[in-house]
Structure 1
């Protein structure tokens, strides 16, 4: 499994940073060749299924993730969401967290453990580097645009 850690500091209030990183459909707008569907569509809660479909035609796959923890930030307290990957191809989990940062800013942390089922652990380094690049760009774009 490849472990990924991304951290960003954003000039946003906690609740706005949370809103931006947990609008699941927007993830499909910022990750290349990806569409995201959510069941049920609103509101997110434990049991919500977020399905990212990535690729082109026959070279595409679904990455279904179930929300298992949903704790939005409240009254300045941190917020955290955990998604368990339930697919046939992509396994692991992701956690998104917002917490107070320096100077009234918000600290955003994205942790992920990812395994691509058909790939042996020999490819973990490639999966780690490519995931850090793709998810890092996605996180930057999510935080920059309302």
Structure 2
């Protein structure tokens, strides 16, 4: 498993940052070669299930996730969303924390522990670097786009 953490600060209120980062279908717009399908009816909350399907030629990988913690930010209280990866190939979990900062800004902390079934731990540094790059880029794009 490859554990990594990203931190960003956005010039937006926590509720807007939360909305942008947890509108799951938008993740497919910012992650290359990936489409996201939400399998459960709205609204998003604990128990929501969605699949991020990445396709490269004949290779198809489904990253099936379930929201297991759903605490949107409220006032000065930070928000926390935890996703458990429930697929056959992609393993692990992710947490997205959103916390208010002075001056109307918001801190985002994205922590993920990701693994790929049958891929040995020797490749964790590569997986960690790729995860940081892909999810960092995705977070940046999601935060920039309303």
TM-score interval w.r.t. the shorter chain? Answer: over 0.9
Measured against aligned partners, the alpha-carbon deviations of 1:55-102 in whole angstroms (never above 9, x if no partner) come to 234301110001000011112311110000011110000000100124
Structure 1 window deviating more from structure 2 (54-63 vs 107-116): it is 54-63
Instruction: Tell me the residue number matched to 2:21.
Output: 21
Instruction: Tell me the residue number matched to 1:89.
Output: 89
Any residues of structure 2 matched to 1:28-47 within 5 Å, and which? 28-47=28-47
Return 5+ residue gaps in structure 2 as ranges.
none
Structure 1 window deviating more from structure 2 (74-83 vs 4-13): it is 74-83
Aligned residues: 146
- TM-score normalised to the size of structure 2? 0.96
Runs (4 or more) in structure 1 with deviation over 3 Å come to: none
Q: Do the aligned partners of 1:48 and 1:67 also contact (CA within 8 Å) in 2?
A: yes
Structure 1 window deviating more from structure 2 (18-27 vs 70-79): it is 70-79
User: How far apart, CA to CA, are the structure 2 residues paired with 1:127 and 1:46?
Assistant: 28
Return 5+ residue gaps in structure 1 as ranges.
none
User: How far apart, CA to CA, are the structure 2 residues paired with 1:82 and 1:94?
Assistant: 6
SS at match of 2:84: strand
